[in-house]
Amino acid sequence: MTASAWVLVAALMLASALERLGPWLWARRRPPSERAARWLEHLAPAAFAALVVADLPRSGSPAVVAALAAAAVVGWTTRHLGWAVVAAVAAAALGRSLAGW
Amino acid sequence: MGDVLPAVVGGYFPAAVAFGALARLLHLPWILAVLLSAVVYSGALQSAVLGLWAVGADVPTMVGVGVLVNLRHVFYGPHLERLHPEWSDRARWAIAPLLTDEVYAAAVAHPEWPARRLFALAAAAWATWQAGTWVGLGLGALVPAGWTAVLALALPALFLTLVLPRLRDGATAAGVAAAALLAAVVRWRGAPPSLLVVPILAGTSLSFWLAERRRRPAPGLGEGRG
């Protein structure tokens, strides 16, 4: 593994620890403002939406549509990320087989 | 815990398998995949890193987007502190690194749980994630190279599944639409991946601003404080 990969792991580990534990310990002394908490509630949907677009492949539209539709339906009904991912991959594989993508 | 444990474990295993297999197919060093699962332990962040790795993003970009993706975690600890001010520092240090969306949701749904019980759930979920990652790394070696594109669809599917349950009002939907549109522009223009933070922050701010406007009472209709 390269030095930059080690730096990546170390930085993400530190950031994750700070994000999870830091505010919890800090909240014992001083609770966060309600306004900041409300702003943070809006962050996750926007971040996930941007990442959907960023990770979409540039080609293979029938399989892409099948995969995303399957993930949306399974994820919405089961509320399970794991099964939604399995459904997406299965639908994409089926689309690939049928359409020769 | 009987109703929550199978749900968390059953949901984590296939997602972790998909992460491990994708990491292998995208030529992420296996030790990096294992370490990300073990010490960073966040499906959304790990998937974001995979997507950015695939397009050749630099380390600061991956860290920056990763921090933003998981910034929602800063809210979990203070909320749990409000629910359980009696928990010891030892409990906080033990549970915090294992806090995920699902573990946090379980803690909020079951405020009667003692710290030991929540830790047991969190530890089982973490162990499941590790097992799934290893299985995925093994399976990834068996998948033909031509199927990489199929498995890569797990990433946008994962994020889509994370977005949909959060579309609870018009303000959030507007922020999501703005973030997606701006991300499409960033991508269409061939901008560096580091600019992905722009649509994320713009969508968040728009959504927050719209929601705050709705919260304000109309002039003359609000109740006085005096």
Q: What is the pLDDT of residues B172-198, one digit of tens each?
A: 999 999 999 999 998 888 777 677 888
**How far off is chain A from B174, nearest CA to CA, in Å?**
9
Chain B residues within an 8 Å CB radius of A73: none
Q: Are B50 and B166 in contact (CB under 8 A)?
A: no
Handedness of CA B181, B52, B190, A61 (dihedral sign): negative
Compute CA distances B113 → A24, A56, B81, B109, whole Å: 18, 40, 14, 9
SS3 assignment, position A60: coil
pLDDT of residue B164: 85
Handedness of CA A85, A86, A88, A89 (dihedral sign): positive
Interchain contact B122–A (C-beta under 8 A): no
pLDDT of residue A93: 74
CB pairs under 8 A between A and B: 294
Residue B160 has which token pair?
A: 């889509």
Tell me the longest C-alpha to C-alpha distance in chain A. 60
Chain B residues within an 8 Å CB radius of A71: 157-158, 160-161
Interchain contact B209–A (C-beta under 8 A): no
Interchain contact B22–A (C-beta under 8 A): no
Q: Indicate the pLDDT class of residue B7, thresholds 50, 70 and 90.
A: low
Dist. CA B36–CA B63, nearest whole Å: 12
Cβ atoms within 10 Å, residue B15: 27
Q: What average pLDDT does range A50-62 have in this prediction?
A: 76
SS3 assignment, position B118: helix
Dist. CA B44–CA B142, nearest whole Å: 25
Instruction: Look at B126 and A48; give whichever has higher pLDDT.
Output: B126
ipTM value > 0.85: no
pTM (2 d.p.): 0.72
**Contacting residues for B70 by C-beta, under 8 A, at least 6 apart:** A15, A16, A19, B42, B44, B45
Of A43-52, B26-35, B92-101, B127-136, the one with minimum mean pLDDT is: A43-52
Helix (H) or strand (E) holding B77: helix B73-83
Q: Are B99 and B77 in contact (CB under 8 A)?
A: yes
> Is 70 exceeded by the pLDDT of residue A96?
no
Q: What is the mean pLDDT of chain B?
A: 84
